[in-house]
Structure 1
Amino acid sequence: MIYQRFTWLTVLRVLLLVANVLLLTWIFGDDRLFFNQIIVFLVLVLQVVELIRFVNHTNRELSRFFLAIKYNDFSVTFKRTPLGSSFSELQNSMAEIIDAYKQVKIEKEAQYHFLQLLVSQLAVGVVSLQRDEVSLINSTAERLMGIQGLKNWKLIRQLHPALVQEIESLGDAGRKVIEVRSDAGNKIVSVDVTTLVILNQPHKLITLQDINSEIEQKEIEAWHKLIRILTHEIMNSVTPIASLTETMQTMLKDKEGRQKSLHDIDEETVGDILFSLATIHKRSDGLLDFVENYRKLTRVPKPAPEQVNLHVFFSTIEKLMQQTLVRDNIALTILVEPSDLNATFDPTLIEQVLINLITNSRHALENRPDKRIELKAHAKDNTLRIEVTDNGKGIPEKELQEIFVPFFSTKKEGSGIGLSLSKQIASLHGGTLKVSSIPNQGATFYLQLPAKRN
């Protein structure tokens, strides 16, 4: 509608201009109409000026409109008296667009302030980086990082170089636990880095969480479990020793509680005393073995990493276990992907872990048909993953949370330190040891190491 009105009004003005030119041409040169010629000429000039102003008015209004949009100038108005009724609809439309854009801007600002308020209430620290500029940070992050009001990452790097170096070592994505040192005390902080691309611009999102309380709680729970098991094992040995000691004292005293003479002690009493002493000796040896196993847990040597070819490494383990596996009629399958995979770790310690895991699988395969154990290794993103899988009786769900606790064992002859020792060795390598199992179908242990490979 606006375009049609503008076109018709422009055509009308052009036609009047042409008519005026023709009229001027017709009367030009007639001395009798000299003043008429001057009047017609002046009218022609006014028509040209008015036509130019009429055409340029739309351009000026559009220019003001676009500049207002560009510079977020919402004070501009288009509700002035138009030059013609054709501009009324155009100006009203531009005014409505400005109002709508202003409303969108207000809503955007409201959402941004709501986001800031929401982020500020989080117990998790949040930092958003665009290059070296901090576009968003909450009070929790400022407290955990020990910064107040800093919006430039370079300044934060200068203030806390060690902390920033730890965060930047994660690159565009990653997660790690770091220790933040400050005058108020040291904190254990879990850091998670994620990079998002918004409008072709990378935005790095850093989240920080103080996990001191969680770690302390886990440590307390671990101590409670350990103390419970230690108490159980010690009581199992001390209780019969105390009972037998009391029994022997009874056998060596008369009814009045006086010590018996040698001629009052018969052969049967001597035999009972010898049996009790042998039992005490056996329980004492068991207690000593228990203490020695505990010492093993606390004296794991520091790993001495070296480059290892996984296929050769697995072949060595196969030779060590071959006689036992053949005797128990167990088939061991080795799979390394790729076949020439190399990794860096302590082969002696990891060998001990794998022997423990294979031994556990061997016990789980007792009285099972078609006994199979699979030893598998593969690598991804500088992480080595070794899996030990069997098709044995599996692990009950209630025991999955306990099997890595020191001295917890489901076998009568088991010491209960194999898996806890294996988990400790994995942790010393900076890795993890986990398990998944389906009862009556088998179990898989996952040893994951952050091992650099070639």
Structure 2
Amino acid sequence: MSNGASSRLEFLGQLAGGLAHEIKNPLSTMKLTLQLLQEDFSQDKSALAMRSLRKIELLLKEITHLDEIVQEFLRLSRGHDLKFQRTDLGDMIRELVEFLGAEANQKSVTLRSQLEGELDGIIVDATYIRQALTNLLKNALEATEPKGGGEVIIRARRHSDVVMVEVIDTGVGVAHANRERMFRPYFTTKKGGTGMGLPMVRRIVEEHGGQVTYESVEGAGSRFVLLLPVDPNRRETLQAMIRVSATPEAPATPAAPRSRRRALEVKPGSPEPGETQAGES
């Protein structure tokens, strides 16, 4: 990228950040004013007051949603102040499976992990990598909901100086028309979604020197793949790993052979070696 183009992008980023701040300030004032009105009307039990309260609650909900969008935008435009430290990625994944276990049970989803090889000593910002994995796992759980349940697997393995993490679900998959837009800011198919989750995941992973890819079969499920260097200062091995074994294959069609679909249509069963399931110690 030329210096001129780089400077222009930096200027646009600063401009967008400033605009977001200008939007955030009146939003805060509006929210505070509505909360004061809500407190006043709550003392009045008349029909007019009750109708006004319902409208205030609706406005507060919309302002909260707008505020979330602005906050996500600011985080995305600024980037993250990463604090790298040696992290046991296996422990992090086991904790996430346990943490999301109750939500998975409510949705009739089997949530489990498959961990291979040495996953301790990975140099990452643990807070942001946890955020990225949590986002992918929650998306996977939500993708199974329209089908009345299913299975979600988070799988991690280390290959030389690269770690590959996969999040696989047997949910509804991604509609073909939406596949090119999945990582675009503000694009969402979820009611009440901000459309900033996947762009944030990509930003976090790329700031670690990694890469995110995915494949999906509409009606059968999806597989998201995160590639992370074990040490951000040794990123040269990442491209080799991508070429050798980690680039997802082209998405299969619903009529694909059973062997091709097996990665997406995981059948429930007893945990395999190195595998943990929500609710297990």
What is the TM-score normalised by the length of structure 1?
A: 0.39
Partner of 1:438: 217
Structure 1's unaligned 5+ residue stretches are 1-178, 180-184, 188-211, 235-266
Are 1:289 and 2:68 counterparts?
Answer: yes
Q: 1:452 to 1:277 in 2, by over 3 A?
A: closer
Are 1:375 and 2:154 counterparts?
Answer: yes
Q: 1:389·1:442 contact (CA, 8 Å) conserved in 2?
A: yes
Q: 1:302·1:428 contact (CA, 8 Å) conserved in 2?
A: no
Q: Percent identity?
A: 24
Partner of 2:185: 406
Q: 1:385·1:446 contact (CA, 8 Å) conserved in 2?
A: yes
Report the Cα offset of residue 426 of structure 1.
Answer: 0.7
Cα separation, 1, equivalents of 2:126 and 2:93: 10
Q: 2:119·2:158 contact (CA, 8 Å) conserved in 1?
A: no
Are 1:338 and 2:117 counterparts?
Answer: yes
Q: Deviations over 1:225-281 (max 9, x none)?
A: x9xxx9xxx9xxxxxxxxxxxxxxxxxxxxxxxxxxxxxxxx999988777666555
- Code of the residue aligned with 1:321 in structure 2: it is L
SS of match in other structure, 1:422: helix
Structure 2's unaligned 5+ residue stretches are 24-45, 233-281
Partner of 1:123: none
1:303 equivalent among 67, 71, 82: 82
- Code of the residue aligned with 2:193 in structure 1: it is G
Q: 1:429·1:449 contact (CA, 8 Å) conserved in 2?
A: yes
Cα separation, 1, equivalents of 2:100 and 2:54: 39
Correspondence list, 1:339-378, <5 A: 342-368=121-147, 371-378=150-157
- More deviation, 305-314/435-444: 305-314
SS of match in other structure, 2:206: helix
Q: 2:215·2:224 contact (CA, 8 Å) conserved in 1?
A: yes
1:418 equivalent among 197, 219, 241: 197
Q: 2:88·2:121 contact (CA, 8 Å) conserved in 1?
A: yes
- Code of the residue aligned with 1:437 in structure 2: it is S
Correspondence list, 1:24-423, <5 A: 186=3, 280=59, 282-338=61-117, 342-368=121-147, 371-423=150-202
What is the TM-score normalised by the length of structure 2?
A: 0.60
Q: 1:335·1:375 contact (CA, 8 Å) conserved in 2?
A: yes
- Code of the residue aligned with 1:333 in structure 2: it is R
> If you compute each CA radius of gyration, which structure gives the higher value, 1 or 2?
1
Q: 2:84·2:124 contact (CA, 8 Å) conserved in 1?
A: yes
Q: By percentage of residues, which structure has more helix?
A: 1
Correspondence list, 1:3-18, <5 A: none
Report the Cα offset of residue 350 of structure 1.
Answer: 0.6
Report the Cα offset of residue 289 of structure 1.
Answer: 3.4
Q: 1:389·1:445 contact (CA, 8 Å) conserved in 2?
A: yes
Q: 1:432·1:447 contact (CA, 8 Å) conserved in 2?
A: yes
Report the Cα offset of residue 306 of structure 1.
Answer: 1.7
Report the Cα offset of residue 299 of structure 1.
Answer: 4.5
Cα separation, 1, equivalents of 2:198 and 2:94: 22
- Code of the residue aligned with 2:87 in structure 1: it is V
SS of match in other structure, 2:147: coil
- Code of the residue aligned with 1:439 in structure 2: it is E
Q: 1:307 to 1:367 in 2, by over 3 A?
A: same
Q: 1:269 to 1:416 in 2, by over 3 A?
A: same
- Code of the residue aligned with 2:171 in structure 1: it is G
- More deviation, 379-388/414-423: 379-388
Partner of 2:269: none
Q: 1:336·1:376 contact (CA, 8 Å) conserved in 2?
A: yes
Q: Deviations over 1:93-146 (max 9, x none)?
A: xxxxxxxxxxxxxxxxxxxxxxxxxxxxxxxxxxxxxxxxxxxxxxxxxxxxxx
Q: 1:270 to 1:340 in 2, by over 3 A?
A: closer
Are 1:448 and 2:227 counterparts?
Answer: yes
SS of match in other structure, 2:145: coil
Q: 2:135·2:201 contact (CA, 8 Å) conserved in 1?
A: yes
Q: 1:310·1:336 contact (CA, 8 Å) conserved in 2?
A: no
Q: 1:348 to 1:280 in 2, by over 3 A?
A: closer
Report the Cα offset of residue 442 of structure 1.
Answer: 0.5
Q: 2:86·2:120 contact (CA, 8 Å) conserved in 1?
A: no
Query: Which structure has more RCO (C-alpha within 8 Å, separation ≥ 6)?
Result: 2
Report the Cα offset of residue 333 of structure 1.
Answer: 2.3
Count of residue correspondences: 202
SS of match in other structure, 1:401: helix
Q: 2:136·2:167 contact (CA, 8 Å) conserved in 1?
A: yes
Q: Deviations over 1:192-245 (max 9, x none)?
A: xxxxxxxxxxxxxxxxxxxx7xx99xx8xxx9xx9xxx9xxx9xxxxxxxxxxx
Cα separation, 1, equivalents of 2:100 and 2:219: 24
C-alpha RMSD over aligned residues: 3.6
- Code of the residue aligned with 1:449 in structure 2: it is L
Q: 1:333·1:373 contact (CA, 8 Å) conserved in 2?
A: yes
Q: 1:276 to 1:314 in 2, by over 3 A?
A: closer
